[in-house]
Amino acid sequence: MMVKTLTTIYIILSSLSTLDAFQTPQIVSVRSFTGICNAYIPDGFTKESYKKFKDKEKNKNKGKNLGKVGPKGFQSRSFQSFQEALERGDAKHLMPIENAKERIRKGELKEKDIPYMQRGGAWDNNDVKGAKKVKWLNSDKDYADGGYKKQQSASIFGGKNLDWTGQRERTGPQGRNEEEPPKKKFLGIF
C-alpha cells in the first residue's frame, strides 16, 4: 500500500514539474518611441535618411525606359521577325559564350561577337560602336511601333478582349433577326 501511495505522489510531482513546458514564455519587448509618426520609416532609418534613400532609388532609374528593354536589360525582337530573318539567312541562333568578359579583356573576342542578350544590348547591334548594324524587317518595325499589342488578347475566347466596362457596342450572334421571336418547341426539346 505504501508503495502505491509513493508511486502516486511521484507521478503527481513529476507532472507538476513538466507543466512549465506547456506554457509560453513571457517575452518583454522594449522599443523606444519618441513621438507620433504618421509615415512608414524602416528600423535603422531616420525620417531624413529614409527620404534621401527613397530619392536616390527614384533617381537611379530616371530617364530609363525600362519597359522598352525588358527585365533583363536587352532590347529584343519578335519571334516572327527572328524566324523570317533566319529563313532568309540574315540571322543565326545565338548561343551564350562562356567567360565572355574575360575573353574580351584578353583580346580573344570583340564585344560584337557576344550575343545581345548576354551583353545586355540590342539585337540590331546599335549599342556596339563599330559593329555592323543588322537590317530591320517590316515585322521588326511593326513590333517596335507596338504592333504586337494588337495581337494580344486577354480573352479566353481569342479575338477581342472581353468588355468588362460595358462601354463597347453590343454584338450578338450573327444571322439572327431580333424582331423574330424564337420558335417554341414542345417541352423545350422537340
Per residue in 38-60, pLDDT (tens digit) is 788 898 999 999 999 999 988 88
Per residue in 81-91, pLDDT (tens digit) is 888 888 988 88
Q: Whose grid coordinates read 514564455? A: 25
Higher pLDDT, 71 or 78: 78
**DSSP 8-class letter at 122:** B
Distance in angstroms (rounded) separating the CA atoms of residues 170 and 182? 20
How far is CA 66 from each of CA 71, 75, 76, 132, rounded to the nearest angstrom?
Answer: 7, 10, 13, 25
Distance in angstroms (rounded) separating the CA atoms of residues 180 and 17? 87
Model pTM? 0.41
Residue-by-residue DSSP string for 42-81: -TT--HHHHHHHHHHHHHHTTT--HHHHTTTT-B---HHH
Instruction: Give me 152's grid cell.
Output: 494580344
Percent of the chain whose predicted confidence (pLDDT) is above 70: 66
Mean pLDDT of the chain: 76
How far is CA 97 from each of CA 26, 58, 75, 100, rounded to the nearest angstrom?
Answer: 58, 34, 19, 6
Instruction: Give me 71's grid cell.
Output: 527585365
Least confident piece of the model among 4-18, 28-42, 102-116, 127-141: 28-42
